[in-house]
A = this chain, B = another copy of it.
Amino acid sequence: MITISLDSPVPLHDQLVSELRGLIALGKLRVGDELPSVRQLAADLGINLNTVARAYRELTDAGLLASGRGRGTVVISTVEKTRGPQSESRQRLENSLASALADAKIAGLSLESIQAIFIKQAELIWKNR
């Protein structure tokens, strides 16, 4: 269900955070769902337990998960605790979209194919439930 790449330049815990946010956004993880234990997921992925723990903690700080010793980790929200004015979220989205689009254009993709990919991904995320 979760895949990470050991030779990516992006840190493992960041990859994990992205994957988990993706699963939440897609509705594959719902409020109340239990996540695998840090040891279990670390073993599955072949990485260290601390790396998983760090990802869980970051999402806990964001208000999406709740963790407790002996109790495990659970999804408690699908909407992030706001970390500033909403314009910041907009700004970050503009930046990541601008960066992704610049990469795509330089890679030689046409505007049409890029729009198609955008629509596909947006539907995947907003369709469910």
Task: State the main secondary structure of chain A at its contact with B.
Answer: helix
- Closest chain-B Cβ to A13's Cβ sits at a distance in Å of 11
Complex Cα distance, B62 from A120, in Å, reads 29
Q: Which of A30-38, A46-54, A66-74, A92-100 contacts B (4 or more CB under 8 A)?
A: A92-100
- Closest chain-B Cβ to A19's Cβ sits at a distance in Å of 9
| A18 touching B118 in the complex, CB below 8 Å, given contacts A79-B108, A106-B80, A126-B105 | no
Complex Cα distance, B125 from A90, in Å, reads 18
- Closest chain-B Cβ to A50's Cβ sits at a distance in Å of 18
| A102 touching B64 in the complex, CB below 8 Å, given contacts A94-B121, A108-B89, A121-B94 | no
Complex Cα distance, B97 from A125, in Å, reads 11
Which residue of chain B has its CB nearest to the CB of A24? B106
Residues of B within 8 A of A105 (CB): 25, 125-126
6 A–B contact pairs at CB < 8 A?
A21-B106, A64-B106, A90-B109, A93-B107, A94-B120, A111-B122
List A residues at the B interface (Cβ < 8 Å).
Answer: 18, 21-22, 24-26, 64, 78-80, 82, 86, 89-90, 92-94, 96-109, 111, 113-115, 117-118, 120-122, 124-126
